[in-house]
Amino acid sequence: MNSGLSWTLLALPVVPAASALVLALCGGALLKKNLYNVVGGLATLAAGISFVLALFLIPAGLLGTGTSVTLDLGSWIATESFYAGLKLNADSVGTLMVLLVTFFGFLITGYSVGYMRNDREQGRFFASLNLFVASMLVLVLADNLVLIFLGWEGVGLCSYLLIGHYWNERGKDQDVPLAAFRAFFVNRIGDLLFLLGVFFLFAAFGTISLSELSARAASPHGFGVMFAGREWMAVLAAFLLLGGAFAKSAQAPLHVWLADAMAGPTPVSALIHAATMVTAGIYLVMRLDWLFLAVPQARFLIAVCALVTLVVGAFMALTQNDIKKILAYSTLSNLALMFLALAAGSSRAAMLHLFGHAFFKALLFLSAGSVIFSAHHEQDARKLGGVLKSLPVTRAAFWIGCIGGAGLIPYLSAGFFTKEAVLESVREATFNGFGLGVSGHVLYWIVLGVESLSALYLFRLLGYLNGESREKTAQVTDHSAHHGAHGAHDHAHDHHAPHESSPAIRLVLIVLSVAAPLFAWLSGTPKLTAWVTGGLGEWEPMQWAHVAPFLVLNIVLAGVTYVVFSAVSRREAVLSALGSLRWGGRGPLDRKFWFDDLYAAVIVLPLKVIAWVLRLVVENVFIGLLHLAGLIGRGASRLLRRQQTGYAHHYAAAILLFLTAAAWILLWRRG
Amino acid sequence: MSTPFSTPFLSAFLPDLALLVLALVVLTTEIVFRKHQARWTARVAVAGLAAVLILLAALPLPSGGVAYAGYQVTRSVVVWKQLFALATLATILLSRSYFRNGHSLRGALANPGAFYGLLLFSTTGMFALVSARDLLTFYIGLELATLPLYALTALQPRNAGSIEAGSKYMLMGAFASALSLFGISFLYGAAGSLGFDALAKVASAQPSLSAQPFLLAGVLMLLGSLGFKLAMVPFQMWAPDVYEGAPTAVTAFLSTGSKAAAVAATTTLFLGPLNLPRIDLGAIFALAAVLSLLAGTLGAMRQSNLRRFIAYSSIAQAGYMLMAFTGGEGSEAAARIALQYNLLVYGTASFALFFVVSLVGRSAPETIPSLRGLSARSPALAALLALSLFSLIGIPPLAGFLGKFLLFAVAARNGHYTLIFIGALAVALSFYYYMRLLKEAYQPVQTAENRGAPASAVPLSPIRLSLAGKCAAALLAILLVVLGTCPGMLNFIASR
Amino acid sequence: MTVPDILFAISAVAVALLSLCVVLARNPVRSTLLLILSFLPISLVYVLMQASFVAILQVMVYAGAIMMLFTFVIMMINPAPHAGEIPGEEPGAEPSRKSDVLWFALLALLGLVLIVPVRYAAVRMVAQPVTKPDFGGVQSMAQLIFTHPDHNPLTVSFELISILILVGVIAAVNFGRRQAHPTSGSATQANQLKDGNP
């Protein structure tokens, strides 16, 4: 039943979890002895072991004949009507996700060794990072929704911990704790919806095992038998689960936390808020594709929300000056692309873009991290003019990332074929629901247009970083000010000329710079695409005629933007020309499309009102009742203590009294 | 029926025989070792008990069990025995430091051979008790389990309280023993035999309990004697006095091992031959449960002495466990699983509590104000205390919650919703009195405001744990969490 | 009323009265002697129940041997220098009589109340004389204890009793035994045991 390979599934999350435990318990002691590299090294080793183990899954999980690797560890929660097993399952989708998580987990943990090397709280950081990898692996390997929920909560917790990593150091001016809390709170809303969704799914189908659910969906009786008068429950479950997925994957209206989450260290943004965790919602929808295929309204909702997110993300990315915020908003719109593919019913396209996005976005974030690290945690792109010129490796990586993200060159851009696949799937689908119907063609052109903005914002960023610097002198003072602000560490740095800092950072950047084009080439090769998407769908021949306008438009946009923004004078001329469009700081872009105001009105205000009412009631009624109960309790307690005389014969008498009383009760009941 | 010395016979009775031999060996270990007698005796006892536990776990048992004369061993019996052996093991580990001077304000224990020997004899009695197949073996097992405890309670001779407690316990125990003998003779009169089978046959043939007054008298008297051991109201009055007077380790054993034995005995009898379908003993059990919850809760509320507090808390816990006997016909298996799980959880939490008490009691009287500042003296210990108390209350992620849930579920089978409501109320109230301990532990010490204890009596020196102590604390904490988060454990118990 | 009935009634009343005297006597020696005396009517009840062997044992072992030990021990430790005084109890520390009287009244009431169900039961149970040969004799007792377990179930219990007696001896020896080496540590006050005195 459980072969040797099956136990790999257990080892996958257990190794990083054990490392997390060790680091949490002994990390502080190791750091006290200045064993900084041991802490990071152990974490990297654990993630690396997981990655190597994941490689062993490839033959059976991915290349096998539709079979999957499973490990059944018996029951976890078992009652008469409810069963949740400790069962792990790696089918093709699961294996892909495992590979993704462990590959990026390994690389980025290694990167962090360099990035975090002067941080005094590394123990906590690496413990959380390892715990994240373990939780994420549980999430993607779990065979039932309760176990998925365990991983789901685990990654949420780690995300919270890591966003708040700089809670005391740099947090004061950046509101780090608030950012972490916002991320946690929004995710809690999603978790609640997810859990309710699981309940309703269980009520509708009587099982929460993914394999059982999809086996039933595939049975010839189909949904008619499955739903059996409980269709509304299944539909409700689909919507609720969607809520959970939206919160985790930052889709409107639950997207507001992702930009704030950039308060965490940059490797965290790369791993959790770009490559892996934010794709959990997409993974969930992919896992339950049979449900969403049967509920067209849900797919319509996905399409609407994804479209909103796409637009919001792309436009917000245009206006940001913080490097990480630009990338964060770009992540939003890319996640929206994946959801659009899911709405179109193409898990294959979603999976493909999930991978492509992971590659180019991780590369972008890590290069940005290298820039930020070299520039002493300066994140404002305007102040970092020309910084890339002194960082050759980072520059190359940034270029490859931007080309990949904007999808400029086929077979070199990680995002080219994947976006194309999404667009194709959207074009061929129709979206119906709530009495509305939208043709895929309409959507196709909208998405194509909005997506072209990615070339704009990415090359605008590149123009800043690789172009002229505005004021050399201002830059220097800025740096020394920042340098003084955060700590006595990092003395070795030369303030005047940022340079490549850590071999770990450089090594990871080089690996990813090679891996991303490699993936791009893979994604454009039919056979290999089928392999990459794990048999999620048939390969569709590339429609070069459709691709051409996309390609040309993007190249032109990217070129023009780069030229404009790489020179200070041109940049400022364009910005002042555009300034008149900003509605005096109250336009949609400055107010983040009013989503924060929406939250204040819909969630914060009602909560405050409820809290106020409850406080009134509690203070006046419940506290009084409590005092009364306390008085009664004290009186009774005193009475009880009276009979505790300490004399044995009194005790014996009480026993006889009770027995006689019991005898009489029983005799009385007979009569 | 298997003959003596056949394989199934041996595999069933070997643990019991081994335990008996161990008790005799431990009694005489003192003679062999001239130095460090207490340490060596404890070592021998621990090693032997570990061997007994391994025997219990490893020896195969035919699915129907093995029976010989008035003695039987089934799978559920083996689970009970494992619980008893675990409780004894924990008690021995807890008691080791009490043989050293300066580890308790109450004075050091002496006579390690007698102490550990009596403890093991008591465990032997519990083994016999759950294995009984007739009333005589049952009675002798009950006596054998209880008799050593009288002497153990009085085994702290420098302490007058200990002797008073022992005497009181023995007096009440003799009374309960007389009750049970009287009850057994009535049952013998009703059934014409001492065997459980004959008893079950006669009992189930009756239209109602009151139609057979001899049966009624016998059942009630046995209930009284078991109620005494359970510390169920109104047979509970000895508990606070004895818990307070006994040496700490014995108190721990009384509230865990002895309680488990009482529950096991009640299960053997009242979910066994006397589980009468047409007789509603459930009402009596429900009444006793309510009274126990009430008395335990009210008693614990205003108690400042930790041992008396634990006594009342254990009375309340007995109240919860009594709910399992109200389930009526068809609930036997569920009730047994609920009780065994609960005892495991309750025992773990209790030992965690006693572990903390024993460390605090080194330098301060065992009172609730002595806990003050514990979080500053040892954060780990305070956290363990919190885990233990949360588990005793029954806060969800911890094991106590599932235990209470299972008990309530059994009561719900028979529609005792009022009882469940009262139980839930008691849980809510238990928040108050358990949290008092935690409040003290996490309150910063302000010497001016220490009303309960004078400033000098609250030592603020950090508590350092030995390596063994650290391991024990970690093990207890892990158990408290794992038992609650892996309810699959239940299936393990149920499959036995 | 047959002759056995009358004999039973007499011995029952005698047992009850003598037991009461045992408890109420203030002098331990007197108590012991009264206890020996109370065993005699008990053995008469055994005879009436056809348990002649047990009756003989009752007299021989309890009245003859064990109670003699009791008497010896009591005489050796000589607990009551002055008649009518209980050792260890200070004259002033009498428990409150009022509550005792209340408790006794309650118990007496209970006893009266208990008569009803017992009487009710006695009416419904019809005693049958045992017709088995050698019932209550030495041979049947031995068979019950020592023969093959398939025939009777008391073998294990019998062995367990021997352990119980051993444990009783150990417990008795150790009950409150003084230590060889006195240790540090303070004894709490015995009269603090009651609730309310923290």
Q: What is the pLDDT, as a whole number, of residue A362?
A: 93
- Sequence length of chain C is 198
Count other C-beta atoms under 10 Å from residue C156's C-beta. 24
Residue pair B397/B484 in contact (Cβ under 8 Å)? The answer is: yes
Instruction: Give residues with Cβ within 8 angstroms of A488, minimum separation 6.
Output: none
Q: At B493, is the pLDDT very low, low, confident or very high (cuts 50, 70, 90)? A: low
> What residues does B132 pair with on adjacent strands?
B71
Residues 69-88 of B with CB under 8 A from C: 69-71
Q: Angle B160-191/B196-205 helices, nearest 10 degrees?
A: 60
Interface of A with B in 474-503 (CB under 8 A): none
Residues C175, C180, C181, CA angle at the centre, nearest 5°?
125
Q: Tell me how crowded residue A535 is: count the other CB atoms within 10 A of its CB.
A: 14
Asked if B403 and B338 touch (Cβ cutoff 8 Å), the reply is yes
Of B104, B147, B244, the CB nearest to C171: B147
Eight-state DSSP code of residue A412: T
Q: Give tens-digit pLDDT for B307-332.
A: 899 999 999 999 999 999 887 777 78
A273 has a pLDDT exceeding 50: yes
Quote the DSSP letter at residue B132: B
ipTM: 0.86
Q: What is the pLDDT of residues A394-410, one digit of tens each?
A: 889 999 999 888 888 88
Burial (Cβ within 10 Å: 0-12, 13-18, ≥19) of residue B434 = buried
Q: What is the pLDDT of residue C123?
A: 62
Residue C184: the pLDDT is 37
pLDDT for residue B451 is more than 70: no
pLDDT at B456 (0 to 100): 46
Tell me the sheet residues that pair with B67.
B72
- Cα A452 to the chain's mean position, in Å? 24
A655-671: pLDDT as tens digits: 877 787 777 777 766 54
Give the whole-angstrom CA distance, residue A330 versus residue A316.
Answer: 8
Contact A637 B298 (CB under 8 A): yes
pLDDT attached to residue B226: 92
Contacts of C193 in chain A (CB under 8 A): 646
Nearest Cα of chain B lies from the Cα of A637 at a distance, in angstroms, of: 5
Q: Is the pLDDT assigned to residue C85 strictly greater than 70? A: no
Q: Say if residues B423 and B393 touch (Cβ distance below 8 Å).
A: no
A neighbour chains, 3+ CB pairs within 8 Å? B, C
**pLDDT for B129 beyond 70:** yes
Q: C113 and A656 in contact by Cβ < 8 A?
A: no
Burial class (CB in 10 A: 0-12, 13-18, 19+), A7: middle
Query: How does DSSP classify residue C135?
Result: T
A35 to each of A28, A39, A113, B60, how far by Cα in Å? Answer: 10, 7, 12, 51
Choose the weakest-confidence range: B88-92, B161-165, B475-479, C95-99.
C95-99
Q: How many alpha carbons lie under 13 Å from residue B306 in its C-beta half-sphere? A: 27
Which CATH number is correct for C1-95, 1.20.120.1200, 3.90.45.10, 1.10.1740.10, 3.40.50.300?
A: 1.20.120.1200
Are A665 and B283 inside 8 Å of each other by CB? yes
- Best A658, A660, A669 member to test B by mutation, with max B CBs in 10 Å, is A658
Q: What is the pLDDT of residues A25-69, one digit of tens each?
A: 887 778 878 777 888 899 999 999 999 999 888 877 666 555 678
Say what the pLDDT of residue B72 is.
Answer: 87
Res A481: pLDDT: 44
C-alpha to C-alpha distance for B225 and B238, rounded to whole angstroms: 13
Instruction: Give chain A positions within 8 Å (CB) of B216.
Output: 663, 666-667
Cβ-based neighbours of A292, under 8 Å, separated by 6 or more: A238, A242, A285, A298, A299, A302, A342
pLDDT digits (tens, 9 = 90+) for B405-436: 889 988 888 788 889 999 998 998 888 889 98
Angle (CA) A646-A648-A652 rounded to 5° is: 125
Residue B369 confidence (pLDDT): 87
- Would you say B346 and B315 are in contact if contact means Cβ atoms under 8 Å apart? no
Q: How confident is the model at residue B481 (pLDDT cuts 50, 70, 90)?
A: confident
pLDDT of C14: 92
Burial of A4 (0-12, 13-18, 19+ CB in 10 A): exposed
Residue A131 and residue A154 in contact, taking contact as beta carbons nearer than 8 Å: yes
pLDDT greater than 70 at residue A172: no
**In Å, how far is C106's CA from the nearest CA of chain A?**
8
Q: How far apart are CA C169 and CA C177, in angstroms?
A: 13
Query: What average pLDDT does this structure show over A151-168?
Result: 90
The ranges assigned to domains in chain A are 315-584, 613-670
Which residues on B lie below 8 Å from C132 (Cβ)?
A: none
B477 inside 8 A of chain C by CB: no
List the single residue in C103, C110, C114 with the smallest CB-CB distance to A650: C103
Instruction: Say how far apart CA A105 and CA A355 lie, in whole Å.
Output: 14
Instruction: Please report, for chain C, the start and end positions of each structural domain, with discontinuous segments joined by +.
Output: 1-95
State whether residue A640 sits within 8 Å of chain B by CB: yes
Tell me the shortest Cα–Cα distance from C117 to chain A, in angstroms.
9
Contact A653 C196 (CB under 8 A): no
**Furthest C-alpha separation in chain C:** 68
Identify all chain C residues contacting A657, using CB atoms and an 8 Å cutoff: 106, 110
Q: Is the pLDDT of residue C11 over 60?
A: yes
A75: β partners: A85
Chain B residue numbers with beta carbons less than 8 Å from the beta carbon of C171 are: 118, 147-148, 150-151
Residue A633 forms contact with B (CB below 8 Å) = yes
Least confident of A42-51, A557-566, B166-175: A557-566
pLDDT band at C197 (very low <50, low <70, confident <90, very high): very low
Contact between A349 and A397 (Cβ < 8 Å): no
Which of B155, B159, B213 lies closest to C120 in CB terms? Answer: B213
Span C157-172, average pLDDT: 89
Q: What is the 3-state secondary structure (H, E, C) of A586-610?
A: CCCCCCHHHHHHHHHHHHHHHHHHH
At C121 the three-state DSSP class reads helix
Q: Is residue A76 less than 8 Å (CB to CB) from chain B? A: yes
Query: Which H or E run contains A432?
Result: strand A430-433
- Cβ-count burial of A606 within 10 angstroms (0-12 exposed, 13-18 middle, 19+ buried)? exposed
* CB-based contact A663 B217, cutoff 8 Å: yes
For A164, A360, B19, B199, C121, the CA distances from B127, given in Å and listed in that order, are: 55, 68, 9, 22, 35
Token reading at A32: 């006290």
Q: Which two tokens stand for residue A239?
A: 């919507």
Burial of B88 (0-12, 13-18, 19+ CB in 10 A): buried
What is the structure's pLDDT at A474? 46
Q: Choose the mutation target among A643, A655, A656 for the interface with C, i.e. most C CBs under 10 Å.
A: A656
DSSP B161-216: HHHHHHHHHHHHHHHHHHHHHHHHHHHHHHHSSSBHHHHHHHHHHSS-GGGSHHHH
CB atoms within 10 A of CB C123: 9
Minimal-distance CA residue of chain A relative to C118: A663
B-contacting chains (≥3 CB pairs under 8 Å): A, C
Interface of B to A at Cβ within 8 Å reads 168, 171-172, 175-176, 179, 208-211, 216-217, 220-221, 223-224, 227-228, 234-235, 237-238, 240-241, 280, 283-284, 287, 294-295, 298-299, 301-302, 429, 486-488, 490-491
